[in-house]
Amino acid sequence: MARIKTEKNTSRKDVIVSKAAILFREKGFKAASMRDLAESVGVEAASLYNHIKSKTELLHELCFSVANRFLQKLDEIESEPIPAIQKIEKILRFHIVEMVNNYEEVYVSDREWKHLNDPYLSNFQNQRRIYRKRLAAIIEMGIKNKEIKAIDAPTAVLILLHAISGIESWHRSKQKITAAALEENMVTILVGGLTI
Amino acid sequence: MARIKTEKNTSRKDVIVSKAAILFREKGFKAASMRDLAESVGVEAASLYNHIKSKTELLHELCFSVANRFLQKLDEIESEPIPAIQKIEKILRFHIVEMVNNYEEVYVSDREWKHLNDPYLSNFQNQRRIYRKRLAAIIEMGIKNKEIKAIDAPTAVLILLHAISGIESWHRSKQKITAAALEENMVTILVGGLTI
DNA sequence: ATAAACCGCTAACATTTGTTAGCGTAAATA
DNA sequence: TATTTACGCTAACAAATGTTAGCGGTTTAT
């Protein structure tokens, strides 16, 4: 009998969820089987069900924990008394750092949420839509204040968010530049592209 | 007996491939079953095998037909006697137009290639890697000629390519701006972000 | 020490999956 | 018109999937 090893302050469920993130990222949610996951946890597939309700529950956990982190940070930044373009830069940097440090989770949340089931699916889509609208509102504020070029704000949001997800390629890359250099390059191009 | 309807110059296989593109895009390759595909074609699942060898063959066809179009266009643009930044702009515009007009195929090629099998998988990855290197080389040329900011070229490539894939969100969006406006906005931000 | 809770195991299940075999009819060719 | 080819159908398959039931040992709490 091979018990799941836990570290301090992590439940066995936490171990499973984070192994799931790795697996879902590399194979995709649908292609990753519970038997795969069990192997990577070091246990039989059936044993996983002592800790989780279902495979989809793993996806819920991942998607919503990521979404919540981003929403919380947005709340924080929105209320700071700084120019819009600086808010955008801060949000951008937060996204980049999250994508670098919590790659698996963030990636899964970004690419695999389609496989959520209702009501979680609609819920997630709503949060996502609202999040983007709030970003667009900041950009529109920046346009009004002549900090940002007169562009279509939703398009700018879509470029920002997707450009960030390109960090996936950076992770895969053999000869990586440092995370800090990556961040500066991205900010240069993207904030530079928005600024008048 | 319900024969697959073909239009002029399209084989029954072509019909299947393009329905597959739609399905793979909306559900993902793994989650889309041959029975789903059969239904969308208007036929029984087994009947598909009179026209195709396997499910993965459908993915090959999609991925490589897209990849070939992009490679061919790159050949063409690379050899034009124009400044690097203009090459980048042309390539960018081509990507955008392709993503707008052949959404399903391009999207599938971009997101589902992971599910290819060797030797196709390695092959595709190689082509992709080489394509990106060629883009990076153009950017580096632009940097040397002081047309483009002194940034890390591979990072710039990754931003460009992923930003384009954001057009997915534009497709989903209810209140779309026109394709032409989308293109101009993207060029403004991205080319603007690269240019000194 | 004894009871209770936890947790991993084996075995099994019902579905869903991609795919093949073989039959019969419609279309294409001669 | 006669014959061959193309193609859709039903039936069936083996494999893989998520998940449950129930047993037995181990850890934790009393």
Residue % of chain B over a pLDDT of 90: 89
pLDDT by residue (tens digit) across B72-115? 999 999 999 999 999 999 999 999 999 999 999 999 999 999 99
**Mean pLDDT across B170-193:** 92
Q: In chain B, what residues touch A152 (CB-CB under 8 Å)?
A: 177, 181-182, 185
Asked if A166 and B169 come within 8 Å (Cβ–Cβ), the reply is no
Q: Give the burial class of B37: count Cβ atoms within 10 A of its Cβ; 0-12 exposed, 13-18 middle, 19 or more buried.
A: buried
For A20, list phi and psi in degrees, rounded to 5.
Answer: -60, -40
Q: Give me the pLDDT at residue B1, please.
A: 52
What is the rounded distance in angstroms from the CA atom of residue A188 to the CA atom of residue A89?
A: 10
Q: Give me the pLDDT at residue B38, please.
A: 96
The closest of B123, B13, B9 to B63, measured between CA atoms, is: B123
**Rg of chain B (C-alpha set):** 19
pLDDT by residue (tens digit) across B25-47? 999 999 999 999 999 999 999 99
Those residues whose beta carbons lie under 7 A from strand C are A 1-4, 12, 43-47, 50-51; B 1, 3, 32-35, 45-46, 49, 53-56
b or e along B103-130 (b: 16 or more beta carbons within 10 Å of the residue's beta carbon)?
Answer: bbbbbbbbbbbebbeeebeeebeebbee
pLDDT by residue (tens digit) across A93-126? 999 999 999 999 999 999 999 999 999 999 999 9
Q: Give me the pLDDT at residue B3, please.
A: 78
**Mean pLDDT across B129-140:** 97
Q: In chain B, what residues touch A191 (CB-CB under 8 Å)?
A: 193
Asked if B163 and A166 come within 8 Å (Cβ–Cβ), the reply is yes
Residues of A engaging B, defined by a Cβ cutoff of 8 Å: 27-28, 30-31, 111, 114-115, 132, 149, 151-152, 154-156, 158-159, 161-170, 173, 177, 181-182, 185-186, 188-194
